[in-house]
Structures are given as C-alpha cells and as structure tokens.
C-alpha cells in the first residue's frame, strides 16, 4: 500500500475513454451517485469548481429533485458491485435519464455493456477505492472537458516532503482521537481525512467545518470531566489564500481555547491559490499519516472487514 501512495500522482496519467459515447448527451447539470471512497472524487470536483450545478447523492435510488431529466447522472462505483449505486443506476434507466458509469469492473459495468450505456472503465489497479480517487477524478475531468497539468503537479508536489511531514504529525497525534476541522470552503478535504482515519487506521475520527463548530461543537470543551477521560487531537486544515479571513480568525480563537484546555493541535496550511495542488497535498498527507498510524498500531490498512461483512449480510 505504501508504494501505491507514493505512486499516487501516476493515476493522473490515466487517459479515460467514453465507451458508447454515441448514447451520451452532454448536459450542464449533474448528479454524482456513489458511496464511500467512490463519491470522494465528486466531493473534490464540487470544491474545485463550485460554479458547477452538481449534487452528490450517497444513498439508494436517486435524489427527490424536480430537474433530474435536465441532469447527467454520473454513477461511480470503483468495485462495480455497490448495492446502493446499482439501485441508482436502475432508477436512472427506468426513468430514461442521461446516464454515464465510472467503474473498474463488476456488475454495474456488465449492466452498462448489456444496455449500451456510456461508461468509463477505470484501470485494473489493485487498490481500495479511497486510493483510486485520482483515477475517478481524472474520469470526471474527462466528462467535463477539464484538463490536468501533470507536469506542473509533479513540480509542485514533493512526495518525500509530505511523507516526512506525516511522521511529525504522527508523533503529535500519539494515538489520540483526531478531530479534523476546516473552513467550510475546503470541507471535502477534512472529510477525506476522516475517511482515511476510519478505513486505513480503523480509528474513530470526526470532521466538521468553520464557522459551524463555533455554534455547537465547541461546547464539548466545557465538559472537563469528559476531557479527562478521552484524549483528542485537533487537526486544522487551512488554505489561507482560498478561505474567508474571518474563518482564519475563528481558527486562531479556537486554538487559544484548545491551549487553555491542554488539547494538542496542528494547523496544516498548504499555501497558494491552486485548489487542485492543495487537494492533492491533503490527499497524500492524509494517506501517509493514516497508513503509518495503522502500521504503528499493528493494523492492516487495506482490509475493511466490517464494511465487507455488512455488504455480504445485506446481500442476503
């Protein structure tokens, strides 16, 4: 797994191709259906291009909205066997909606081929969906006609530096429960960190956004008895050139409150205005940190036994 993380940027060399393209109508509004690691690329797309009319659907069937016929339904299932996503596919078919599939394999790809539905087949790379977000993002970029400058990415993203940074972060984390906070503008990055802790490290982790936490969650710091029993570590994600300065001020105030309560924290601030570069750096730092966190605790970062068990039992 560690080699797959170190080679993550190579995913953007993938050249997507739309099969059955003659049956694909290009519309300007979208619904992305996916679960777990398969919807992460959609979350990032929404962050990168907030001007796109895009709805992320993480449930069975399709969202109850009135303009479904005006939208392209993008169904993403890395494995191709996700029950909820297949139900979204079936409903889109039954309603005659504009549909395209992104998948590596599995039942949903078989259905797309049988019904001549447009699809993009992801590379046969033996990785869990959360690690395949680069492939899925490249496929989405292809559908929307966006380009990725891989040479610039490799120039701007220093893999070794990020991996070293993860080691320092782990020393501070010290097996505490991570709370990942970010300004609302970059919340998809915080959610990716949460998923990485959950799946790679098998660790409880919580994500929330500013300014929202200042209106509710911050009050947990008043519960001194609870704080003595549970050890937390706060990870602030920042992108100072992209977020509202008032949220940065809120981060500073919360940092002071954390210090008063002797709760350790770290502010991760990747500078610059290039959202895509900041996204990739956060993905890599989250993956490296949670990978090494799992290894330090003798946990397999690849297997997700309980997720697989639930899928198997619900399939009965």
**22, pLDDT greater than 90:** yes
Tell me the per-residue pLDDT of 126-177, one tens digit each, with 9 for 90 and over: 899 899 999 999 999 999 999 999 999 999 999 999 999 999 999 999 889 9
- How far is it, in rounded angstroms, from Cα 303 to Cα 309? 11
First vs last Cα of the chain: how many Å apart?
31
Q: Is the peptide bond before 3 cis (omega within 30 degrees of 0)?
A: no
**Per-residue confidence (pLDDT) for residue 311, from 0 to 100:** 87
**Per-residue confidence (pLDDT) for residue 175, from 0 to 100:** 85
**Per-residue confidence (pLDDT) for residue 56, from 0 to 100:** 96
Q: Which CATH superfamily is domain 151-296 in?
A: Glucose-6-phosphate isomerase like protein; domain 1 (3.40.50.10490)
**Per-residue confidence (pLDDT) for residue 316, from 0 to 100:** 80
C-beta separation of 44 from 148 below 8 A:
no
The token pair that represents 140 in the structure block: 């989405």
Confidence class for position 314, pLDDT limits 50, 70, 90: confident
The token pair that represents 60 in the structure block: 């069975």
C-beta separation of 189 from 196 below 8 A:
no
User: What average pLDDT does the segment 90-102 reach?
Assistant: 96
User: Is beta strand 232-238 parallel, antiparallel or unpaired with respect to 71-77?
Assistant: unpaired
Its pTM stands at 0.95
**Per-residue confidence (pLDDT) for residue 253, from 0 to 100:** 96
**Per-residue confidence (pLDDT) for residue 224, from 0 to 100:** 83
Domain 2-148 has CATH 3.40.50.10490: yes
Domain 2-148 and domain 151-296 have a common topology: yes
User: What average pLDDT does the segment 117-132 reach?
Assistant: 94
**Per-residue confidence (pLDDT) for residue 292, from 0 to 100:** 97
Tell me the per-residue pLDDT of 52-85, one tens digit each, with 9 for 90 and over: 999 999 999 999 999 999 999 999 999 999 999 9
The token pair that represents 272 in the structure block: 């610059």
User: What average pLDDT does the segment 234-251 reach?
Assistant: 94
Q: DSSP string of the chain?
A: -HHHHHTGGGGGG----EETGGG----SEEEEE--GGGGHHHHHHHHH-TTSEEEEE-SSS----TTGGGEEEEEEESSS--HHHHHHHHHHHHTT-EEEEEESSHHHHHHHHHHT--EEEPP-----GGGTHHHHHHHHHHHTT----HHHHHHH--HHHHHHHHHHHHHHHTTPEEEEEEEGGGHHHHHHHHHHHHHHS----EEEEETGGGGTGGGGGG-HHHHHHS-EEEEEEE-TTTS-HHHHHHHHHHHHHHHHTT--EEEEE--SS-HHHHHHHHHHHHHHHHHHHHHHTT--SS--HHHHHHHHHHT-
How many Å separate Cα 254 from the centre of its chain? 25
**Per-residue confidence (pLDDT) for residue 90, from 0 to 100:** 96
Of all residues in the chain, the percent with pLDDT exceeding 90 is 90
Tell me the per-residue pLDDT of 258-310, one tens digit each, with 9 for 90 and over: 999 999 999 999 988 999 999 999 999 999 999 999 999 999 999 999 998 99
- The residue length of the chain stands at 316
**Per-residue confidence (pLDDT) for residue 157, from 0 to 100:** 96
* Domain limits, the chain: 2-148, 151-296
- Average pLDDT taken over every residue of the chain: 94
C-beta separation of 159 from 9 below 8 A:
yes
Residues 6+ apart with CB under 8 A from 147: 141
Cα dihedral across residues 242, 244, 249, 251: positive or negative: negative
User: What average pLDDT does the segment 180-191 reach?
Assistant: 96
């Amino acid at each position: 797994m560690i080699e797959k993380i170190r080679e993550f940027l190579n995913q953007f060399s993938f050249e997507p191709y739309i099969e059955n393209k003659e049956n694909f109508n290009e519309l300007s509004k979208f619904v992305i259906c996916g679960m777990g690691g398969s919807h992460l690329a959609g979350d990032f797309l929404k962050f990168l291009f907030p001007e796109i009319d895009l709805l992320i659907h993480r449930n069975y069937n399709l969202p109850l909205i009135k303009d479904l016929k005006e939208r392209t339904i993008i169904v993403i299932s890395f494995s191709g066997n996700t029950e909820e996503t297949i139900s979204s596919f079936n409903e889109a078919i039954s309603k005659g909606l504009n549909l395209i599939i992104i998948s590596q394999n599995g039942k949903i790809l078989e259905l797309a081929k049988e019904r001549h539905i447009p699809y993009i087949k992801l590379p046969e790379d033996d990785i869990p969906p959360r690690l395949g977000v680069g492939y899925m993002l490249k496929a989405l970029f292809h559908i929307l006609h966006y380009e990725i400058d891989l040479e610039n990415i490799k120039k701007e993203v220093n893999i070794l530096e990020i991996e070293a940074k993860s080691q320092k972060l782990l020393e501070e984390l010290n097996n505490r429960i991570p709370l990942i906070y970010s300004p609302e503008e970059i919340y998809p990055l915080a959610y990716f960190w949460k998923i990485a802790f959950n799946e790679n490290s098998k660790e409880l982790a919580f994500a929330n956004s500013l300014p929202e936490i200042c209106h509710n969650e911050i009050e947990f710091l008043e519960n001194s008895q609870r704080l003595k029993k549970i050890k937390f570590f706060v990870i602030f994600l920042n992108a100072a050139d992209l977020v509202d300065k008032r949220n940065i001020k809120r981060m500073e105030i919360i940092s002071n409150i954390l210090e008063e309560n002797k709760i350790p924290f770290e502010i991760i601030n990747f500078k610059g205005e290039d959202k895509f570069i900041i996204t990739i750096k956060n993905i890599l730092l989250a993956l490296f940190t949670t990978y090494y966190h799992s290894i330090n605790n003798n946990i397999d970062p690849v297997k997700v036994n309980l997720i697989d068990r639930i899928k198997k039992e619900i399939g009965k």
